[in-house]
Amino acid sequence: MGKKNKGSPIVEAPRQEIERLQEIYSFRQKEDVAEFLESHPYLVPLLFEAYPQIEKHFGSHARVFLEVVTDPEATDDRELYALIGTRLPPEAALEKLERFDKEWWSAAMDRAQCKLCIDVGFV
């Protein structure tokens, strides 16, 4: 539920923004992803910004899956993965990913604070 202060606009709670993200991303282990995003709220606007860039490089029907991955060697080290589902041949998909990295992600990735990885996933 939003907060309201006298004279201030309503500020959406992180959960509402996360629910909006579910309209464009497919969450794997929905609660894990939602809790991770609540703990790392700076990722939410970055994900909203990322999706049009993903569409630009992979097409308007790109399906992107979000899932939280835990490093098996460091159980307290978790990261959110955005996997761009594709049926493209691996070489073509990796070329598109490289262009995406060059044209947008390399400049934006610092804002992810090492908590978001964007990659291709073959479906």
Full-model pTM: 0.84
Residue 96 placed within a domain: yes
Name 44's Cβ contacts closer than 8 Å, sequence gap at least 6: 14, 17, 18, 21, 37
Residue 4 resides in a domain: no
91 within some domain: yes
Domain assignment present for residue 49? The answer is yes
pLDDT digits (tens, 9 = 90+) for 34-86: 999 999 999 999 999 999 999 999 998 889 999 999 977 776 789 999 999 99
Q: Which residue has the tokens 């978001």?
A: 116
User: What residue numbers bound the domain in which 104 lies?
Assistant: 14-70+77-122
Query: Is 3 inside a domain boundary?
Result: no
- 9 within a domain of the structure (yes/no): no
pLDDT band for 2, please (50, 70, 90 cuts).
very low
Does residue 101 fall inside a structural domain?
yes
